[in-house]
Structure 1
Amino acid sequence: MSDSIIGKKSFEFAIQIVNFYKKFSSEKKEFILSKQILRSGTSVGANVREALNAQSRMDFIHKLSISQKECDETIYWLELLFATDYISRDEFESLKKPAAEILKMIKSIIITTKSKTHNS
């Protein structure tokens, strides 16, 4: 996974999410929303890794599609935490920016792979 840009970025994002969760849950004593963002945010990289080890092109697309959904869900939780004043604008932006970048990359990879599948 170290030679895959999306693999590297999604793993680094998972580290950010875990660190955010540790801080957020201990400082805010909020455990429901923090668990949700921990689950979806770390799932992005886990599904990217599964995609990189896919057995077929369709399996690759399927695993990346799950990763795409998890990434979008993570952005939702971040937006909710920000809108309800659980996190500051700086905290929000520091996590939303890499999530949005990863989401864009995943969507692009899926589109490219699908077009190659249809052209094969």
Structure 2
Amino acid sequence: MKSDLPDRTFAFAERIVRLCRHLESEGVVSGTLMKQVLRAGTAIGSHIEEAQASESRKDFVHKYSLALKEARESHYWLRLLIAAEVVSAARLDPLKQEANELIAILTSICKKSRD
């Protein structure tokens, strides 16, 4: 069965880019946070794409582990944007939920692949 994870992480990255386009004009603090969430949120999918061409099981697990770290970091930045009232919770809750789901999926894949 083909995984939808590459498409799902690409869609997440696209949503992050759209969020960051909004944050660009919001000021220095928003701009600094925007760079962080943009880097982390778009890196998840790039690591998944790299894993599709992994050279070994160890390489695959490494790439997925990096994607997991970026997903956790993305979740952190999204929480901070909400807590600092830079962006409303209503706007970011769907992205935060998707980050949570990606974390769960990637954690499961990493654990199963290490066994």
Displacement of 1:92 in angstroms is 2.1
Paired amino acid for 1:12 = A
Q: Encode CA deviations 1:24-43: one digit per residue, 9 max, x unaligned.
A: 212x2321100100000000
Q: d(CA) in 1 for partners of 2:33 and 2:44?
A: 17
Q: Which residue does 2:69 correspond to in 1?
A: 69
- Paired-residue identity, %: 36
Q: Give the TM-score normalised by the residue count of structure 2.
A: 0.92
Following superposition, the deviation at residue 105 of structure 1 comes to 0.6
Alignment-derived partner of residue 93 in structure 2: 93
**Mapping of residues 1-40 of structure 1, within 5 Å:** 3-26=2-25, 28-29=26-27, 30-40=30-40
> 1:38-78, CA deviations, whole angstroms, 9 ceiling, x for partnerless residues?
00000000001111111000000001101100110011101
Query: Segments of 4+ in structure 1 off by > 4 A?
Result: none
Whether the 8 Å CA contact 1:14–1:41 is kept in 2: the answer is: yes
* Cα distance in 1, alignment partners of residues 90 and 52 from structure 2: 32
Asked if 2 retains the 8 angstrom alpha-carbon contact of 1:6 and 1:106, the reply is no
- Let me know the Cα RMSD of the aligned residues: 1.0
The alpha-carbon deviation at position 11 of structure 1 amounts to: 0.6
Structure 1 gaps of 5+ residues are 116-120
Task: Give ranges in structure 2 of 5+ residues lacking alignment.
Answer: none
